[in-house]
Amino acid sequence: KAGVTQTPRYLIKTRGQQVTLSCSPISGHRSVSWYQQTPGQGLQFLFEYFSETQRNKGNFPGRFSGRQFSNSRSEMNVSTLELGDSALYLCASSVVGLASTYEQYFGPGTRLTVT
Amino acid sequence: ILNVEQSPQSLHVQEGDSTNFTCSFPSSNFYALHWYRWETAKSPEALFVMTLNGDEKKKGRISATLNTKEGYSYLYIKGSQPEDSATYLCASSNDYKLSFGAGTTVTVRA
């Protein structure tokens, strides 16, 4: 069974631009969660999508948004990029998500650098 | 922002020795406690998901316990091996959000 895939793996953007990251979950998984990892803040929850609906959201500004498609693939968008948005962005998929005891499976991440 | 704390931040273990470390988490609206192993240049790998007070799970030489009343979990590594070197993250699921601790980095010396 193929694992969680994320594209692109690396990205360099300029401050003020916007970026879209993609996550394809494991086949059969309906939940996709997104996380930001920075050296200073550790791993932080961005949001979770389940069956095309955002189920919950972490403490991030509105510049961070996402969506999920009918095939469970998810995209995350960051608008008006700031230097502090430089981070590793991880997505994770799960059968039914955080409201369960099912495990999450993480993708390899997208390393975003904002200059 | 929920406060999930892990201690110690790092530890060094001699090959063959056993070790354990702690994760403390808020008990309000608690749903589940997750443990992950994160090796350098790899993705976090799920180890355990526990939800019931007194839960104890085991995978090979690694095991974990959960105390939801006092809000802590222990992860144990028995007979540490070099391949156990990694950062171990715990995450608490409260109100359907996942809050991670900063991790305990384990280095196993041969």
- Tens of pLDDT along chain A (115 residues) come to 679 999 999 999 999 999 999 999 999 999 999 999 998 778 999 999 999 999 889 999 999 999 999 999 999 999 999 999 999 999 999 998 776 778 899 999 999 999 9
**Regarding predicted confidence, which is higher, B53 or B29?**
B53
Q: Which residue of B has its CA nearest to A109?
A: B43
* Ranges A4-8, B90-94, B102-106: which has the least confidence: B90-94
pLDDT band for position B96 (50/70/90)? confident
Going by C-alpha positions, the residue among A83, A71, A78 that lies closest to residue A23 is A71
Give the whole-angstrom CA distance, residue A97 versus residue B31.
12
What pLDDT is attached to residue A39? 81
Q: Which residue of B has its CA nearest to A97?
A: B96
What pLDDT is attached to residue B27? 84
- Measured at the alpha carbon of residue B80, what is the angle toward residues B77 and B84, in degrees to the nearest 5? 85
Beta strands B104-109 and B10-14 are parallel
CB contact (8 A) between residue B43 and residue A4: yes
CB contact (8 A) between residue A108 and residue B89: no
CB distance from B71 to chain A under 8 Å? no
CB distance from B43 to chain A under 8 Å? yes
- Give me A49's structure tokens: 């999508």
- Mean pLDDT estimate for chain B: 93
